[in-house]
Amino acid sequence: MLKNYFKIAWRNIVRHKAYSTINIAGLAIGVAACLLIFVVIQFELSYEKFQPKYDKIYRVVLQQNLGDGISYSEGIPYPMPAALEVDFPDAKFATIQTSYGSQITVPAGNTDVSAADKKFVESIGVMFIQPQFFNIFSYKWLSGDGSVLSKPDMVVIDRSTATKYFGKWENAVGKVVKMDNLLLLKVAGIIEDVPSNSDLPLKVLVSYPTLKTHLAEYNLEDSWGNNSSNHQIFMLPAPDATVANLNDRLKTFVKKHYNQKNAATKVHLVQPLADIHFDTRFGNTLGDHITNKATIRTLSFIAILIIIMASINFINLSTAQSVGRSKEVGIRKVLGSSRTQLIKQSLGETGLIVIFALVIAIVIAKLALPYLKNIASVPDDISLISVGSIVFLMATTLAIVVISGIYPALVVSGFTPVLALKNKITAASVGGVPLRRVLVVAQFAISQLLIIGTIVAVRQMNYVNSADLGFNKEAILIIPGSTDSISLQKSESFKQQLLQSPGVKAVTFTSDQPSSQNNWSTNFYYDNAGTDKPYQTSLKFGDADYFKTFGLRFKAGQAFVQADTTNGVVVNETFVNKLGIQDPHAVIGKILKLGGGKWHPIVGVVEDFKTNTLRENIRPIVILQMKKQQGEVAVKLSTSNFSATVASVQKQWEKTYAAYAYNGYFLDQNIAEFYKQENQLALVYKIFAMIAIFISCLGLYGLVSFMVVQRTKEVGVRKVLGASITSIVYMFSKEFMLLIGVSFVIATPIAYYMMSSWLQNFVFRIPLSAGVFVLAIVASLVVAWITVGYKSVKAALANPVKSLRSE
């Protein structure tokens, strides 16, 4: 019986090649798209789950009320780890201090092939780490164990890094490397590479005791008043501990160790390890990116919509196509086939089509997999086939067979034998015209939802990428440097040498750019006040050419001068406005004190510039000189002879700072990285809107093709009676145009709500205007008319003699 069902199903697929192709193509593209989305979601949800205790490990974080809102930091003060170990004796703790852009130098003679020092700049993965870290986290050791990090000047590296430094990882143990031209470290152990689904990319692990003698160089103070986001602590509490209990104990801890004023504003909390990858309140100072859970929900929602659209195609075409099989069903019923047998046969045919589609979908997904990293932050070696994806494909196949096949099966098996044998089953009576209309409306509502999402996302990202940031970001070369004494001594001569080049317009030494992820902030006192303000101000450090290099515009006063003995500072408009002062000239000459430092006169006020991303409000800013913080070089370049000038700057850097690797990048590219996820999401909308339109067009084409076949003689009669080509095309297309209009009415409020919510992520955003929705309906109508019109025109141009010959 099964063999017979298979033969009949295969014959029907071959007999109706056009409909089978449309069904298989729609399903294959839909399943391929969903499989790729599943691979991305599965990867994002797998972060840290390879850790045996991932659901029991926490990070201690800071929530601080600054008077003008709550801020969050993943950092802790330097003295805090020792105090936590005393107050929480039932828990295990491990502290790390991350270092970004650290240079690792492999001295000549450390390798068999190198006759010169080799320099490597590690953007992430360099950490000072306590040996007890490995009592909480589990990693595979290729050589040594966690205890090697109990001594100063020791380092552990992962397999890939060891291979990169020494040719073979086996050659690394016992060798010496230099970090930041400051620390001479002995390689004491090797660990296996950390999986890519981790926010703890351990590459170069320096023993924590080494940090104790170099706190200043790594911006740490042995003080409860200094908090660094790079200094973090992880906790493995007692098995019976709860989050609520731990947070209550931390409240007591804060009151005990902070002074009364600070304790009132600071709250330390525990953050589950499993939440780190999705908690956007905290910057990701460990791994490459943090994923917003809303993005995961959006991708899941899009995948469901695509599968629904593909299933709608199948239902519409299957119910319409069943008219041609009415006699077959009638004969089977007369010969004794039960309704159950007919349902099984129909579902079997559906299953066969879905299996064909599934095979093609896997091929499509495999071909598209290398391009997946363009729409998601996934590793190059991500696998398409896994236990999870196999389960997903099986579940999807079953769901599609049930959703797509059960209704057509019930319709076909429900034919009355007498009507079927008399050829009284019509397209209008099969499945009901209202249902088919509902399905077409649903399909185009989904298409328009994605079209509107695409238009809004693309417009917002175009706005973000072209927005006036309040400073010049074009043609500015950033070179991360060092603030050691030797480098600082060379800074002025290096600057003057660069300025002699005709392609260099300006040079400044700074802590960071105007718009960056730096959140260095402090409390401050204004105008000889005895108490500080109830909010903090952010700090940026730069020399006198900072304003010229970045094109900052002054509202009042002027820039401070180089080596200003009065230590003048410049503030932004937001700083002035938060003081309750309207006229920026009124603050010129006033003095302010930053933290526990000395008083500084305000010499200038600059127009507001975007201090972080466009997702955030502009913060009050103080710009001042502090040479030991100004290790980064920003070079404003002329656009003429651009490449030659960049090469000249690099050559001069390598000549002046021979001990440091050149690691220059352009400011505009760095700012673009702020919006990587949003740009990827906009691209996702584009791709899946096109897929949705394609699947919709396949369904429309199939339905119109069926209608043309069913109404061939009617078209012939109409032409004989004088009907024009236009009227015949209108006859076929008017219903679909009306249905698309209805789908627009349904999709508009849903799309408005969704995209309004998405735009709320940006403080600076585009208005959600009516033009977006008009463009979406016009695009849908044009695409649908082209799809319907092609087949309609072809039917209208057919010779009526041929269609009426059999009458």
Distances (CA, A) of 376 to 38, 676, 682, 754, 778: 12, 9, 11, 21, 30
Reported as a pLDDT band with limits 50, 70 and 90, residue 420 is very low
Looking at residue 430, its pLDDT comes to: 47
pLDDT at 563: 66
801: exposed, middle or buried (C-beta count within 10 Å: 0-12, 13-18, 19+)?
exposed
Q: What is the pTM of this model?
A: 0.84
Give the burial string for 385-420 (b: 16+ CB within 10 Å, else e).
Answer: eeeebeebbeebbeebbebbbebbbebbbebebeeb
Contacts of 398 (CB under 8 A, 6+ apart): none
Res. 721: pLDDT tops 60? yes
**pLDDT given at position 785:** 79
Each residue's pLDDT tens digit, 557-584: 999 987 656 689 999 999 999 999 999 9
pLDDT cut 70: percent of the chain above it: 85
Tell the burial category of 455 from Cβ atoms under 10 Å away from its Cβ (0-12, 13-18, 19+).
buried
CA distance 50 to 194: 10
Give the pLDDT confidence of 475-534 residue by residue, as tens digits: 999 999 887 777 778 888 999 999 998 899 999 999 989 988 777 888 899 998 888 888
In the predicted model, what is the mean pLDDT of the chain? 84
Q: Which of 2-6, 96-100, 440-444, 645-649 has the lowest mean pLDDT?
A: 2-6
Strand partners for 97: 128, 231
Label each residue of 444-476 as H, E or C. Answer: HHHHHHHHHHHHHHHHHHHHHHHCCCCCCCCCE
Do 314 and 23 form a contact (C-beta atoms < 8 A)?
yes
Q: Rounded distance, CA 700 to CA 472, Å?
A: 50
Do you know the residue count of the chain?
A: 807
* DSSP letter, residue 98: E
**How many other C-beta atoms lie within 10 A of the C-beta of residue 774?**
11
Residue 516 is predicted with a pLDDT of: 85
Helices 676-710 and 725-759 sit at what angle, rounded to 10 degrees? 160
Residue 432: its pLDDT value, please?
47
> pLDDT (tens digit, 9 = 90+) per residue, 168-206?
999 899 999 999 988 999 999 999 999 988 989 999 999
What pLDDT is recorded for position 431?
Answer: 47
Helices 676-710 and 770-797 cross at an angle (nearest 10°) of 30
String of DSSP letters for 559-585: PPPTT-TT--EEEEHHHHHHTT-S-GG
368-383: string of b/e by CB count within 10 Å (b at 16+)? Answer: bbeebeebbbbeeebe
Rounded Cα gap, residues 800 and 718, in angstroms: 9
Residue 269 has a pLDDT of: 87
- pLDDT at position 569: 94
Give the residue from 720, 733, 691, 792 showing the smallest Cα distance to 368.
691
Look at residue 26 in the predicted model and tell me its pLDDT: 85
Cβ-proximal residues to 504 (8 Å cutoff; 6+ apart), any chain: 498, 635, 636, 637, 638, 645, 649
pLDDT of residue 698: 79
pLDDT digits over 519-530, tens only?
788 889 999 888
Q: What is the pLDDT of residue 425?
A: 47
DSSP conformation class of 620: P
Q: What integer pLDDT is reported at residue 565 of this predicted model?
A: 60
- Residues 451-470 have pLDDT tens digits of 999 999 999 999 988 889 99
Confidence of residue 339 (pLDDT cuts 50, 70, 90): low
Contact 686, 774 (CB under 8 A): no
Quick check: 302 pLDDT over 80?
A: yes
Residue 555 has pLDDT above 60, yes or no: yes
The model's confidence at residue 110, banded by pLDDT at 50, 70 and 90, is low
Q: How confident is the model at residue 137 (pLDDT cuts 50, 70, 90)?
A: very high
pLDDT at 661 exceeding the cut of 70: yes
| CA-based torsion, 318, 322, 328, 331: positive or negative | positive
Instruction: Give the list of residues 6+ apart from residue 795 with CB closer than 8 angstroms, or none.
Output: 708, 712, 715, 728, 732
Alpha-helical runs (H) found in 616-724: 642-656, 667-673, 676-710, 712-720
* Cα separation values, 225 from 59, 87, 118, 221, 598, Å: 20, 19, 39, 9, 17
Report pLDDT for 364. 94
- Poorest-confidence range of 32-36, 327-331, 366-370, 645-649? 327-331
Q: What is the mean pLDDT of residues 364-390?
A: 87
pLDDT for res 465: 86
User: Which residues sit opposite 96 in a β-bridge?
Assistant: 129, 232
When mean pLDDT is compared across 232-236, 268-272, 331-335, the lowest value belongs to 331-335
Is residue 807 predicted with pLDDT exceeding 70? no
% of the chain at pLDDT higher than 90: 39
State how far the alpha carbon of 510 is from the alpha carbons of 89, 328, 614, 635, 698, in Å. Answer: 43, 82, 22, 11, 58
Taking the C-alpha atoms of residue 97 and residue 206, their distance in angstroms, rounded to an integer, is 9
User: Do the bridges between strand 621-624 and strand 537-541 make them parallel or antiparallel, or are there none, so unpaired?
Assistant: parallel
Buried b (16+ CB within 10 A) or exposed e, 691-713: bbbbbbbbbbbbbbbbbbeebbe
User: Residue 18: in which H helix or E strand, if any?
Assistant: helix 17-45
Residues 6+ away with beta carbon under 8 Å from 280: 290, 292
pLDDT(609) > 70: yes
C-alpha gyration radius of the chain: 34
